[in-house]
Chains A and B, each alone.
Chain A
């Protein structure tokens, strides 16, 4: 039984084109990413990050730091990590304009919640998720301040953009001002003030220690662990649909959903961007390569379900409860 083509059209894992690559500070480049055929990109909100799978096969997470009122462009900022295991070095040394990267997400574990006041604290490249938050705080007329630390002024990205906000922004390069004065910025918890902090581990540790006895929800942090992710496969993989007794091969240019449809197995879907959750499918064996915007890290770690409209497989074989 062949499936009819449906209006949502073919859904394959989204690939983005590097439309521009710009040095914005010492050791920091921004990438401007667009759909190769100029389509809208999946919606996002401040605090969201994407998983980018680089041509070298590595997958890395980057916060979106552009303007979501432009639905056609993502911007990410990438620091050359001293102890990089390849991702940032590859972007700095080898990724050129015109190159393709595969997209997972966007996902958001660091959402900006409504509040009359915000304190933003950024260390180094941790400024990236805070940039759209600041733009939003400004837009809704919230009362906010930013403390932005870094090694030295030349290493701190986006100072030009932040300049427009005047004295709401405090720039504190370590070689001029020493360590960030957290005691002055985090005196006592206030229900009407949310604190957002992103930066290197030691800064987050210091902030979390200082706020350890604060009521939950007032301090919100994001930590990117350079987790050792299984390199994502770019070759075909097998999918076994246990209940239907069907096995099929998913080639690199097809989604699992498409491959199942071609094989005549009905799976209801809707948005086909890993957003709405309609096509959720139980995984019985194999390790999914999650590309959706829905599951959080804990849910991903369970590995017991996937969204076949966008997600793929890390292992040679996936067994699904279908």
Chain B
């Protein structure tokens, strides 16, 4: 058996992963953490961190030792009051996690999405035709935001009014997984109003008769979840399903704008759209981090993590770990990105991943048929968020195919 080092030999750093400098460009810090060791102490927050693929993968899959119900952010729900009632999926452990997960997996599964495919492809073509009226545009807002906001709320069955609340709500939610820094404080004045709107949309009466929302309520009628759980399960779609795909789509557009030869490859082989999106999710990791809490004293790669301690998993760093990936910093369609942890891994692995892939496939296919070449028109700007690798703008210049 491996012996456990006294934890005082554990590499330690006072870096703040949530500082503006790191959020602007997290890659140097991630590389330093990976080099420092399999487990590193973040002295500023008094927590452990993992940045190598092997340990991140192990912690993600070992739900028995690393729980989610004490919160998947820095805040430890054992001692601190969560800012909203915890998610029944993301912030739940078995057995409570089972039923909501089983219900959503079916509703968001590939076979259930087949009925949306043709519509989403048509929507993507329409949007792209509209946007391509200009040669230069901001792809962050006009494509990466517009497309999910056009198809996803309809698929859930939300009313039209108030949809502008979705992105700010998600932005706050993903900030709130980090420390109570400026990003969180700036959002705080609006939370009550945003939350009230979101909670209101989760009620059965406010959802269309068909759609993911209605399907969740129908599952409650069958008794697969309780009627009390239904609105919170709907809430998980409104929380996790918008900002993530927006920044995921922006990531893949940025990748192609900066890798013209890869764009040519996609145009020749449009069947690579799904691979391209997952490669971009690996390469940019729109969701950068999540936390877990040790349920017992755990020995991980020679470090003893005591029961109740928080562990920060750097998904983005794992996805660029040279121990696991050949040339990890390269965006490359001939790579098989399978096994990346950008959607997580294990029982909490993104239940919406097929939705995200379908959105991406629709948008990329429409673009590949119409755009010969795309490039950055100006330097894109990041949007800082404690969890998301996000975009403020992505100015593109495109040349339409003849």
Contacts and interface: CB of A to CB of B under 8 A. Distances in A.
A113 B110 contact: no
A162 B132 CA distance: 68
Contacts of B122: none
Contacts of B98: 45, 111-112
B339 A4 contact: no
Contacts of B110: 277, 280
Nearest to B222: A217
A272 B338 contact: yes
B217 to A, nearest CB: 14
B349 A7 contact: no
A284 to B, nearest CB: 17
A254 interface: no
Contacts, number: 104
What's the interface size class on A, roughly?
A: 35 or more
Contacts of B229: 114
B335 A4 contact: yes
A217 B225 CA distance: 11
User: Which of A8, A68, A268 counts the most chain B CB atoms within 10 A?
Assistant: A268
A269 interface: yes
Interface in A168-198: 194
The secondary-structure label for the interface of chain A is loop
A136 B275 contact: no
Interface in A216-261: 216-218, 261
Contact of A4 (B57, B221, B326, B354): B326
Interface stretch (B6-14, B16-24, B29-37, B340-348): B340-348
Contact of B224 (A6, A8, A217, A277): A217
Given A6-B336, A71-B62, A136-B95, A113 B275 contact: no
Contacts of A305: 111
B225 A113 contact: yes
Contacts of B338: 6, 8, 268-270, 272, 278
Given A113-B223, A268-B278, A8 B339 contact: yes
A294 interface: yes
Nearest to A191: B223
Given A7-B339, A268-B275, A43 B346 contact: yes
Interface residues of B, number: 45
Given A4-B335, A216-B222, A271 B345 contact: yes
A220 to B, nearest CB: 9
B38 interface: no
A3 interface: yes
A268 B339 contact: no
B142 interface: no
A45 B224 contact: no
Contacts of B337: 6, 268
A194 B57 contact: no
A268 to B, nearest CB: 5
B46 interface: no
Contact of A299 (B111, B326, B334, B340): B111
Contacts of A115: 223, 226
Contact of A111 (B102, B226, B334): B102
Interface string B21-64: 00000000000000000000000000000000100010001111
A11 B225 CA distance: 34
B315 to A, nearest CB: 12
A212 interface: no
Nearest to B349: A276
A45 B223 CA distance: 17
Contacts of A139: 95
Given A194-B223, A216-B222, A268-B274, A71 B64 contact: yes
B353 A140 contact: no
B322 to A, nearest CB: 11
B96 interface: yes
Given A113-B99, A276-B353, A6 B339 contact: yes
Contacts of B222: 216-217
B346 A113 contact: no
Interface string B222-248: 111110010000000000000000000
A115 B223 CA distance: 8
A69 B63 CA distance: 9
B343 A7 contact: no
B61 A7 contact: no
B99 A111 contact: yes
User: Which of B53, B225, B326, B339 counts the most chain A CB atoms within 10 A?
Assistant: B339
Interface in B78-100: 94-96, 98-99
Interface in B265-320: 271-272, 274-275, 278
Given A70-B64, A112-B95, 6 more contacts: A7-B325, A43-B346, A111-B102, A114-B96, A139-B95, A268-B337
Interface of B: 53, 57, 61-64, 94-96, 98-99, 102, 109-111, 221-226, 229, 271-272, 274-275, 278, 324-326, 334-340, 343, 345-347, 349, 353-354, 357
Which 7 pairs from chain A and chain B are nearest by CB?
A8-B339, A217-B223, A7-B324, A269-B338, A7-B339, A217-B222, A6-B339
10 contacts: A6-B325, A68-B94, A69-B64, A194-B223, A266-B336, A268-B338, A270-B343, A271-B345, A278-B338, A280-B111
